[in-house]
Structure 1
Amino acid sequence: MSETAAVVVAAGRGIRVGGGTPKQYRRVGGKAVLTRTLEALARHPGLARIQVVIAPDAAAFYGECLGDLAPGHAAKLLPPVEGGATRQLSVRAGLEALAGAGAPSLVLVHDAARPFVDAALIDRAVAAARAHRAAVPGIPVTDTIKRIDPQGLVVETPPREALRAVQTPQAFAFAPLLDAHRSAAAQGLDGFTDDGALAEWAGLPVALFEGDVRNRKITQAADLDEADRAFGGAAASDDAAAPASLASGASMTLVTRLGTGFDVHAFTEGDHVWLGGVRIPADRGVLAHSDGDVVLHALTDAILGALADGDIGVHFPPSDPRWRGASSDQFLADAVARVAARGGVIDHLDVTVLCEQPRIGPHREAIRARIAEVAGVPVSAVSIKATTTEKLGFVGRAEGLAAQAAATIRLP
């Protein structure tokens, strides 16, 4: 059957969030996490069927999820199947159920606890499955990673440029993935924690496609609270229901707003500059009260402009000694939090750097990744460009550098 189906793994206990209800059935914005995830998948026109895998004792929880689904979304759902003692066994149960109902050509395997999956990420997953037959979404690793021995001593610091944090949905040609699961089961192996690793074990080449930093997995109680705020509800950690208007699926109109920002700093003695949260070696530094990151300063002002909420100097005055030498990512994070506090979302961030030196090209992707991480948007929503001024003005004379930015947001 030439179609794409999805397996949603919802059989876990989710105990790290606390409370007596598994995390996939806790409510965010008036609906269960699993309901949010299923709606995100079901509304995508490229997915024909969805196979949910649940715990043996979760039928009542799952029934409540179905009752909260938006009209029409249940039509793609197959009857749920019971999972096993490990994630690998649960995924296999879902794949076997799909095979019994008429095997699809492609399958996406997705965690129930990732309700922020969007259409663009699903598009990339399906395209990657068609192109590579086995592919996983990944995002750049921004923290330094250490490998330790059993005694807790560091034995290796792998270069993070070659590392990616892997998410779901993971995407595969259906038949090879099912064969890999059956082969692992025949050899008594059931501990693979993701299907990409199982595919690697089976000898399948696994490609990586661009993930989404917003596609975070709910793991801790704080994640539930954050998700609840994002979906516009009451405090999820208290298991409280959202207002009736939200629980019933009432929609809220979001209006698009555009803000712009500009920042400039003169060069001074030094050996590096900060641009977009990335430390870049340079012949000189910049004269600034904070770290002088013109990219993050311009972006912060652009977001504040879209909010009509003053500028960076209003919220972080240079006269305040707290901000002397401060990292500018906290300024951007504050502006992003102000968008979220007003129920808004950030759609796109665009920056142009004006400088003769340093060269931006070698650092472009690292800058995009860092901005995306701080702003909580996918890398695809961040644009970084650079230009000179043809030797004109202070930029042309290499006396300093500047950045101009635009931010597109949506507010209720």
Structure 2
Amino acid sequence: MTFSAIVVAAGTGSRAGGDKQWRTLAGKPVLRWSVEALLQAGAEVVVVTAPGDGERAAEALSGLTGWRSVDGGATRADSVRNGLAALDGPDNQVVMIHDAARPGLSPAVIGRLLTALDGADGALPALPVADTLKRGVGGDVAGTVDRADLWRAQTPQAFRLGRLRAAWANWPDDQTPTDDCAVVERDGGRIVLVDGEARLMKLTYPEDFEMAEALMATRMQTRPVQTRVGMGFDAHRWGSGTSVWLCGVEIPHDQTLIGHSDADAGLHALTDAILGAIGEGDIGDHFPPTEPQWKGAPSDVFLKHAAGLVTARGGRVVHVDVTLICERPKVKPHRQAMRERLAEILDLPLDAVSVKATTTEAMGFTGRGEGLAAQAVATVEVRVSAR
């Protein structure tokens, strides 16, 4: 079933230490967990971010399709309204409103919500209150609250698009709802409960991340690991200069490589190899040479970005192999420093990094001393959803 979903990610998360939706949880950003779950369930997803955070969302959700972002407002209610305004489906279209701070969303919860919405105006996952509840006044217990029929509400909360819009239109401007179901409740709507899940906990305080990390890491371990290999190639012309950057190491030389950035062909080839392993295009897609901000930029920025995309998918780079093709400079005296630098950038053990050099026996553009070439292979492991 196709439906729409709004993921609210515009809050500051101050109680959790700030920016909790962008923090890494079990190998990928908190926001990505929920968006992936909704996309896999068939949703059209609108991510509501704070103004100016669209690029952060694009980085966190790199490689995913079927989503778009809009700017949020001053309050959560304003952000939900902005998300609703971005949807153009019919009135009977199902829409789910979800908090990015609840990364443990499962297909089972989504399925229960879709089923429960038949014959109701709204549905939400919830857990019965298990703890004894006390009312406190000034630090003293003022009474015990009967917990019978009390539930802990979670998200996503599901509605028909037209019904939710009508309820919001009738909501008083001087009041702030605690959740979206409260808006439909006040408008006379019938809300039904479905079974929630403990792992759908909300990340509110710093200590919540430790618990969520354990829960999500266990969830990741149940997904199969896929090994992928990517290849990269790069070449640059020689020009006048006094040094050259190769594999993150500056080498004194009577020439330099010409390029928009620092022209480190080794890092460029390796960046493309990692991007290729996860189907993320090439270095020019992420760092266009037409953009002045990358002029003279150190190429380790590009490599760290590519490795970060692997991490965001819950994966890791496990091995890299770079071959430099040139007559000069001599690479062997610097090869160990290059391996150490690559190991540092990628957080790999030294024996998982290889740097080699060869010549073309005076043939071709490298043999004639016109330029230098590099090729690279990267092996990555990513966890994939079962199909």
* Range class of TM-score, shorter chain: 0.5 to 0.7
1:75 matched residue in structure 2 = 65
- Measure how far apart 1:60 and its partner are: 2.8
* One-letter amino acid of the structure 2 residue matched with residue 160 of structure 1: R
1:141 matched residue in structure 2 = 129
Other structure's SS at 1:176 match: helix
Q: Is contact 1:135–1:170 with CA below 8 Å preserved after alignment?
A: yes
- The separation in 2 between residues aligned to 1:190 and 1:126, in whole angstroms, is 29
- Measure how far apart 1:131 and its partner are: 3.1
2:55 matched residue in structure 1 = 60
Hey, which of these two has a bigger chunk of strand by percent? 2
Q: Which runs of 5+ in 2 are unaligned?
A: 219-304, 317-387
2:86 matched residue in structure 1 = 97
Shift of the 248–205 alpha-carbon distance from structure 1 to 2, 3 Å rule, reads closer
Shift of the 103–173 alpha-carbon distance from structure 1 to 2, 3 Å rule, reads closer
Counterpart check, 1:201 vs 2:186: yes
- The separation in 1 between residues aligned to 2:57 and 2:153, in whole angstroms, is 27
2:170 matched residue in structure 1 = 183
Shift of the 109–158 alpha-carbon distance from structure 1 to 2, 3 Å rule, reads same
2:9 matched residue in structure 1 = 10
Shift of the 40–153 alpha-carbon distance from structure 1 to 2, 3 Å rule, reads same
Deviations 1:161-192 (CA, angstroms, capped at 9, x unpaired): 211000001111111111111221xx313511
2:222 matched residue in structure 1 = none
- The separation in 2 between residues aligned to 1:243 and 1:82, in whole angstroms, is 25
Other structure's SS at 2:170 match: helix
- Measure how far apart 1:249 and its partner are: 4.1
- The separation in 1 between residues aligned to 2:136 and 2:200, in whole angstroms, is 28
- After superposition, where does 1:241-280 map in structure 2 within 5 Å? 246-250=311-315
Larger Rg: 2
* One-letter amino acid of the structure 2 residue matched with residue 62 of structure 1: A
- Measure how far apart 1:248 and its partner are: 4.9
Shift of the 177–243 alpha-carbon distance from structure 1 to 2, 3 Å rule, reads closer
- Measure how far apart 1:97 and its partner are: 1.0
* One-letter amino acid of the structure 2 residue matched with residue 170 of structure 1: Q
Shift of the 248–38 alpha-carbon distance from structure 1 to 2, 3 Å rule, reads closer
* TM-score between the two structures when normalised by the length of structure 2: 0.54
* One-letter amino acid of the structure 1 residue matched with residue 111 of structure 2: D
2:177 matched residue in structure 1 = 192
- The separation in 1 between residues aligned to 2:159 and 2:309, in whole angstroms, is 40
* One-letter amino acid of the structure 1 residue matched with residue 49 of structure 2: I
- The separation in 2 between residues aligned to 1:247 and 1:107, in whole angstroms, is 27
The root-mean-square deviation of aligned C-alpha atoms, in Å, is 2.8
- The separation in 2 between residues aligned to 1:58 and 1:93, in whole angstroms, is 15
2:351 matched residue in structure 1 = none
2:196 matched residue in structure 1 = 211
Shift of the 245–55 alpha-carbon distance from structure 1 to 2, 3 Å rule, reads closer
1:31 matched residue in structure 2 = 28
* TM-score between the two structures when normalised by the length of structure 1: 0.51
Shift of the 206–103 alpha-carbon distance from structure 1 to 2, 3 Å rule, reads closer
- The separation in 2 between residues aligned to 1:215 and 1:50, in whole angstroms, is 19
- The separation in 2 between residues aligned to 1:207 and 1:136, in whole angstroms, is 7
* One-letter amino acid of the structure 1 residue matched with residue 187 of structure 2: A
1:164 matched residue in structure 2 = 151
Shift of the 148–230 alpha-carbon distance from structure 1 to 2, 3 Å rule, reads closer
- Measure how far apart 1:108 and its partner are: 0.8
- After superposition, where does 1:228-239 map in structure 2 within 5 Å? 228-232=213-217
Shift of the 156–89 alpha-carbon distance from structure 1 to 2, 3 Å rule, reads farther
- The separation in 1 between residues aligned to 2:96 and 2:28, in whole angstroms, is 23
* One-letter amino acid of the structure 2 residue matched with residue 126 of structure 1: L
- Measure how far apart 1:160 and its partner are: 1.3
Q: Is contact 2:6–2:46 with CA below 8 Å preserved after alignment?
A: yes
Deviations 1:204-263 (CA, angstroms, capped at 9, x unpaired): 121111111121111111222333344449xxxxxxx99997545449xxxxxxxxxxxx
Q: How many residues align?
A: 230
